[in-house]
């Protein structure tokens, strides 16, 4: 952490109620409220001069501020540190109104730009459905603001409650926003209202001011794009949930036996779905290079930057001692892994400036959100969901092996492609779910069904996210990334 110093004030002002000095005294008293500080000098004349100089510090433009900044740790610099350490220096610069107005204007522009971009890409026959879905979701967003309930009609992860995958995703995102991005929840409601034909604006309230001061506008931009893309996709022919095997009706099981059943359901489900579009396109490349190969590492960078958010909610739970210890260890083993992805992206010619400007593909951004939400609301599902992230126990990291094989014509890429997966394999991360459930004594039937439904949703999200990489990167002849509002972004960070 950076050490705070008084040098960081933009417009410093001495904030005291009084500077007291008697003409024949060799001391000065500074009073602020019920606090009183005495500065002793060698003689009354020095004290008189010091009192006069201190009085000038009520003006941020006083030359003495420059002397204090340049003095280092001694003399005037020591006095500045003394004053600041007792909260006697205030910030005179006040750009609150201008800053808040600029942030509101930027959000408004982002909302309107997102709406224009989504409508432009949508066939005319789906626009009425877009409006209808936006009106329904506006109600859901309002409910999410008012209550912590996960959806108004039931669990959005449940295909029987919400058969439209993208609508279920958006409703789940609202619950995530309520916990982690309240400004985004409000902005998403405004965007949906405008799509539905209402004349909506960000409300003027203390909550908005607080949120504008706290939350990241870049994340808000990415989340609005996510919601808008999912809304558009909810109107399409592929929006219905994937077919899955029936959830078994079982008696209360031990944790380990339940996890075995989840693994069986996962294998059966993935077998039913077959190969995802990304793997199909990847296999078709042979030995040729393609932007398709770069796609996963660009998107994985943004996932990995946020990955510890998925684990963090469980760190504050009073879990059984072995589970708690496991979560802290998992957190420690994942911190800093984004450096591996960043290095891989650099090898691919993608600058950090470009990575900082990228808007992650929607479903990859949602993947972290929903895993984090699950960790907040459902610790049992959270323990099982590690399997969705790290892989089913007993399965090798096939995706990374295939990427490395296809990319063998690029030696630098080949050397780096598997680093993260090899690290996870060395750390036994695909054992974490089994390790966790070994310590969970019993899983009752209702919990089993809830966890399995949510795991199936997360599996489908992961499957569709890989399809999103295929769609975005597969048709490219020269690599570009996704910039704001879906516009192409060059690997160097400029417009493509």
What pLDDT digit, counting tens, does each position of 432-456 carry?
899 999 999 999 999 999 999 999 9
> Which pTM was predicted?
0.91
CA angle 22/28/32 to nearest 5° reads: 115
CB under 8 A, 24+ apart: contacts of 36-44: 37/86, 37/88, 39/79
CA atoms of 447 and 121, how far apart (whole Å): 41
In whole angstroms, give the CA distance from residue 153 to residue 227.
19
Q: Which residues pair with 39 in a beta bridge?
A: 28
Question: For 66-101, what is each residue's pLDDT tens digit?
Answer: 999 999 888 899 999 999 999 999 999 988 999 999
Query: How far apart are the C-alpha atoms of 7 and 83, rounded to whole Å?
Result: 12
How far does Cα 402 stand from its chain's mean position?
A: 29
Comma-separated ranges of CATH 1.20.910.10 domains in the chain: 255-489
The predicted-structure confidence for 111-127, as pLDDT tens digits, reads as follows 999 999 999 989 999 99
List, for residues 119-155, the tens digit of each pLDDT value.
998 999 999 999 999 999 999 999 999 888 888 889 9
pLDDT of residue 57: 96
Say if CB 105 and CB 201 are below 8 A apart: no
Report the pLDDT value the prediction gives residue 427, as an integer from 0 to 100. Answer: 63
> Which stretches of 286-348 are DSSP H helices?
291-305, 308-315, 321-334, 338-347
CATH architecture assigned to 255-489: Up-down Bundle (1.20)
pLDDT in tens, 246-302: 999 999 999 999 999 999 999 999 999 998 888 888 888 877 778 998 898 899 899
**Measured distance between the N- and C-terminal CA atoms of the chain, rounded to whole angstroms:** 37
Tokens of 346: 């650099």
Whether 141 contacts 193, CB under 8 Å: no
Start-end of CATH 2.30.29 domains in the chain: 6-91
pLDDT, tens only, 374-427: 999 999 999 999 998 887 776 765 555 455 555 545 554 455 555 544 554 566
Q: Which residue stretches of 215-288 are H helix? A: 217-233, 255-273, 277-285
Residues in the chain: 496
134 neighbors 192 (Cβ within 8 angstroms): yes
Q: What percent of the residues of the chain are helix, what percent strand, and what percent coil, each to the nearest 5?
A: 65, 5, 30
CATH no. of 6-91: 2.30.29
Q: Are 27 and 12 in contact (CB under 8 A)?
A: no
Instruction: State how far the Cα of 236 lies from the Cα of 43, in Å rounded to an integer.
Output: 85
What does the angle CA 279 – CA 419 – CA 392 come to, to the nearest 5 degrees?
55
């Amino acid at each position: 952490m950076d050490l705070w110093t008084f040098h960081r004030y933009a417009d410093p002002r001495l904030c005291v109620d009084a500077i007291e000095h008697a003409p024949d005294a060799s001391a000065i008293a500074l009073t602020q409220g019920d606090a009183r500080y005495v500065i002793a000098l060698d003689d009354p004349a020095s004290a008189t001069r010091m009192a006069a100089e201190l009085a000038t510090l009520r003006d941020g433009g006083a030359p003495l501020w420059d002397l204090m900044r340049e003095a280092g740790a001694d003399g005037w610099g020591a006095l500045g540190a003394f004053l600041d350490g007792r909260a006697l220096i205030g910030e005179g610069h006040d750009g609150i109104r201008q800053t808040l107005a600029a942030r509101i204007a930027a959000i408004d522009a982002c909302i309107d730009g997102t709406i224009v971009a989504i409508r432009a890409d949508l066939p005319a026959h789906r626009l009425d459905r877009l409006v209808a879905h936006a009106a329904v979701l506006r109600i859901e967003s309002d409910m999410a603001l008012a209550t912590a309930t996960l959806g108004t009609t039931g669990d959005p992860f449940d295909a029987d409650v919400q058969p439209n995958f993208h609508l279920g995703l958006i409703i789940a995102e609202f619950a995530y926003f309520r916990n982690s991005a309240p400004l985004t929840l409000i902005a998403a409601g405004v965007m949906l209202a405008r799509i539905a034909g209402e004349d909506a604006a960000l409300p003027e309230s203390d909550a908005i001011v607080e949120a504008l001061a706290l939350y990241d506008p870049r994340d808000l931009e990415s989340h609005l794009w996510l919601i808008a893309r999912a809304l558009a996709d909810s109107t399409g022919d592929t929006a219905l949930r994937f077919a899955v095997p029936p959830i078994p009706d079982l008696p209360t099981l031990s944790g380990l036996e339940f996890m075995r059943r989840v693994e069986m359901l996962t294998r059966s489900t993935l077998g039913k779905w077959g190969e995802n579009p990304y793997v199909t396109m990847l296999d078709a490349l042979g030995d040729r290079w393609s932007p398709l190969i770069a796609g996963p590492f660009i998107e994985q960078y943004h996932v990995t930057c946020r990955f510890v958010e998925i684990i963090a909610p469980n760190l504050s739970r009073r879990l059984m001692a072995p589970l708690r210890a496991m979560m802290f260890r998992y957190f420690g083993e994942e911190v800093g892994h984004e450096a591996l992805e960043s290095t891989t992206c650099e090898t691919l010619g993608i600058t950090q400036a470009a990575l900082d400007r990228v808007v992650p593909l929607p479903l990859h951004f949602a993947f972290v959100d929903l895993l984090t939400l699950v960790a907040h609301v459902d610790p049992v599902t959270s323990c099982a969901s590690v399997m969705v992230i790290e892989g089913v126990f007993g399965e090798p990291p096939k995706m990374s092996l295939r990427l490395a094989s296809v990319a063998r014509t690029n030696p630098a890429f080949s050397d780096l492609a598997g680093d993260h997966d090899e690290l996870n394999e060395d750390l036994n991360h695909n054992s974490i779910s089994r390790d966790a459930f070994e310590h969970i004594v019993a899983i009752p039937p209702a919990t089993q069904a809830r966890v399995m439904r949510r795991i199936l949703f997360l599996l489908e999200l992961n499957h569709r996210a890989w399809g999103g990489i295929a769609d975005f990167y597969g048709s490219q002849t020269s690599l570009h990334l996704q910039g704001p509002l879906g516009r192409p972004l060059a690997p160097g960070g400029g417009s493509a």
